[in-house]
Structure 1
Amino acid sequence: MSLPSSATLRWESENWNAAAPVRLRELMSAELAPRYAPDEHRRVRAPQPSADEIVVTWVAYADDVPVATASLRRLPDRHEVKRVFVHAGHRGRGLARAALRAVESTALGLGIERLWLQTGALQPEARTLYAREGWSRVPPYPPYDRNPYSVCFSKVLTPVPDSSADVS
């Protein structure tokens, strides 16, 4: 399933438990499971987000097919980006970057000044994306600090000036 050049791309805000983001997260889990399978016994899994913790889940649709997703999670002491994923047939088109920016824009609109995220040591493409998009590596924070594969990042959000504003 690859994106035809004529496909119309749109982003929609969805419920965490809606069919499209659930399906994309299932694809993500299926893709990542083999990477960690040899050392699964060493992996400590953090509790999955609940729908009540999710502020927004963004889903990109190519025509009517869900192809990318990312979510913003509210925790008592921070806000996290969760489950950034692009379907394999749609990679290389900037959708992961767009998903991050959608979450960051939502966070800025809510007055959130800093975001956090966790990825895995065996996900070099994710680590590269986050570093390229201005995220700084930080020590693993709870509950990810118990997982030897955790790689964590944080980003201080900077409002983008409104270019339509009158500058005198």
Structure 2
Amino acid sequence: MSLPSATLRWESESWNAAAAVRLRELMSAELAPRYAPVEHRRVRAPQPSADEIVVTWIGYAADVPVVTASLRRLPDRHEVKRVFVHADHRGRGLARAALGAVESTARERGVERLWLQTGALQPEARALYAREGWHRVPPYAPYHRNPFSVCFSKFLAPRPGGGADVH
């Protein structure tokens, strides 16, 4: 499988790998101030369990984890979780590359449609998903109870010739 962005070293890791946990902590710390004024109105969905995560992709720059995205398997769908790029590495297409890695993994597993949830106060994320061919859908369970949820879905086209390498 070829991996995105030749300037990074990409690794498939577990949800609980130290690098993945650290990047999710940075993401949470960055988003907390945005949602602080409305925190009392948010309804939080349960966090994924390690057993639900098919893969967590981590991109390393000089052995430092700088980008992540995960694929979650649920009984009725596959979901993209926690797409995040370290602030010092933004503007280089790494979020797009991480999405591509997750989509490729999903295609390899025969997944035809992906889902994701983001927040109303995350315009950068919403813009990225729209640019990458994701379409807004009504919030689905368990996110439908959170008034700040914005959900997307994307049908995955099979790779020509059946190949599934990451772009």
TM range (shorter): over 0.9
2-structure distance, mates of 1:122, 1:155? 21
For residues 70-116 of structure 1, the C-alpha deviation after alignment (integer angstroms, 9 at most, x for no partner) is 00000011000000000000000000000000000000000000000
1-structure distance, mates of 2:7, 2:133? 28
**TM-score normalised by the chain length of structure 1:** 0.92
Any stretches of 5+ residues in structure 2 without a counterpart?
A: 1-5
Any stretches of 5+ residues in structure 1 without a counterpart?
A: 1-6
CA RMSD of the aligned region, Å?
1.4
For 1:70, the equivalent position in structure 2 comes to 69
**TM-score normalised by the chain length of structure 2:** 0.92
Distance 1:52 1:163, change over 3 A: closer
For 1:26, the equivalent position in structure 2 comes to 25
2-structure distance, mates of 1:82, 1:26? 14
For 1:45, the equivalent position in structure 2 comes to 44
Number of equivalences:
158
Task: List structure 1 runs of 4+ shifted beyond 3 angstroms.
Answer: none
For 2:83, the equivalent position in structure 1 comes to 84
1-structure distance, mates of 2:35, 2:162? 45
2:139 aligned partner, one-letter code: P
For residues 36-78 of structure 1, the C-alpha deviation after alignment (integer angstroms, 9 at most, x for no partner) is 0011000000000000000000000002000000000000110
Deviation at 1:160, TM superposition (A): 2.2
Greater gyration radius: 1
2-structure distance, mates of 1:140, 1:20? 30
2-structure distance, mates of 1:162, 1:33? 44
1-structure distance, mates of 2:102, 2:86? 18
Q: Percent identity?
A: 85
2:96 aligned partner, one-letter code: R
Deviation at 1:159, TM superposition (A): 1.5
State the secondary structure of the residue aligned to 2:98: helix
For 1:115, the equivalent position in structure 2 comes to 114
